[in-house]
Copies of this chain bind each other. A is one copy, B any other.
Amino acid sequence: MQSVKVVFHIDETDKWPLLLANIRNLIKAVDIHSSEIVVLANSKAVSIFDGQTEPNHSEAIAAISSSNVKVQVCENSLNGLNIEKSKLPSVVEVVPVGVLALIEKQTAGFAYIKP
**Interface residues of A, Cβ cutoff 8 Å to B:** 4-6, 9, 11, 18, 21-23, 25-26, 28-30, 42-43, 76, 96-100, 102-104, 106-107, 109, 111-115
Q: From residue A26, how far is it (CB to closest CB) to chain B in Å?
A: 5
The answer to whether B106 touches A111, judged by C-beta atoms less than 8 angstroms apart, is yes
Given the complex of chains A and B, what is the CA–CA distance between A24 and B88 in angstroms? 25
Q: List 6 A-B contacts (CB under 8 A).
A: A5-B103, A21-B43, A23-B99, A30-B100, A102-B113, A103-B111
Q: Indicate which residue in B9, B99, B115 contacts A43 across the interface (CB closer than 8 Å).
A: B115
The answer to whether A113 touches B9, judged by C-beta atoms less than 8 angstroms apart, is yes
Q: Indicate which residue in B42, B102, B111 contacts A102 across the interface (CB closer than 8 Å).
A: B111
